[in-house]
């Protein structure tokens, strides 16, 4: 049975998704009773809310060189960490998807305030980095 801290971690679930899949994501997630929030710009990210659970889909694309980049909004074309989606695929509920490399995820959580000035580092992000580092057997540095 999940603990209350496990339940709290499920209140904010982040995904990366290909921008071309955005219309289908909106259709499927709203059909599940989630409301699509008006912000941030929908060419950059899709945020949904239902019963206190926030689902966020950062939309990605590939540039001419094949690098994963931000799909839209003010940072369109900016690269995500190299190798971010190069790991093995997973299957959940019959859907096959790429899993974000845990080292890339740590880099994203560490560097987001640097990449988006004015965005404060959230305690949740530091906790996530510490959990990932512990699972990987590496030292969590900031």
């369109």: which residue's tokens? Answer: 76
| Rounded Cα distance, 17 and 44, in Å | 10
pTM for this predicted structure: 0.77
Reduced to 3 states, what is the DSSP secondary structure of residue 113?
helix
| Rounded Cα distance, 105 and 36, in Å | 25
From first to last of the 142 residues of the chain, give the pLDDT tens digit: 333 344 444 577 888 899 999 999 999 999 999 999 998 889 999 999 999 999 989 899 999 999 999 999 888 999 999 888 887 888 877 778 888 888 888 888 888 777 777 777 778 788 888 888 898 888 776 5
């Amino acid at each position: 049975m999940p603990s209350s801290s496990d339940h709290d971690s499920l209140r904010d679930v982040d995904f990366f998704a290909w921008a071309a899949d955005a219309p289908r994501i909106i259709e499927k997630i709203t059909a599940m009773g989630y409301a699509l929030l008006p912000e941030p710009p929908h060419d950059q990210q899709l945020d949904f809310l239902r019963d206190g659970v926030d689902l966020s889909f950062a939309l990605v694309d590939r540039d001419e060189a094949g690098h994963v980049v931000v799909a839209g909004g003010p940072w369109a074309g900016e690269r995500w960490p190299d190798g971010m989606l190069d790991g093995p695929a997973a299957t959940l509920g019959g859907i096959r998807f790429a899993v974000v490399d845990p080292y890339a995820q740590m880099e994203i959580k560490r560097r987001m305030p640097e990449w988006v000035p004015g965005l404060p580092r959230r305690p949740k992000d530091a906790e996530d980095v510490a959990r990932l580092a512990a699972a990987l057997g590496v030292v969590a540095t900031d």
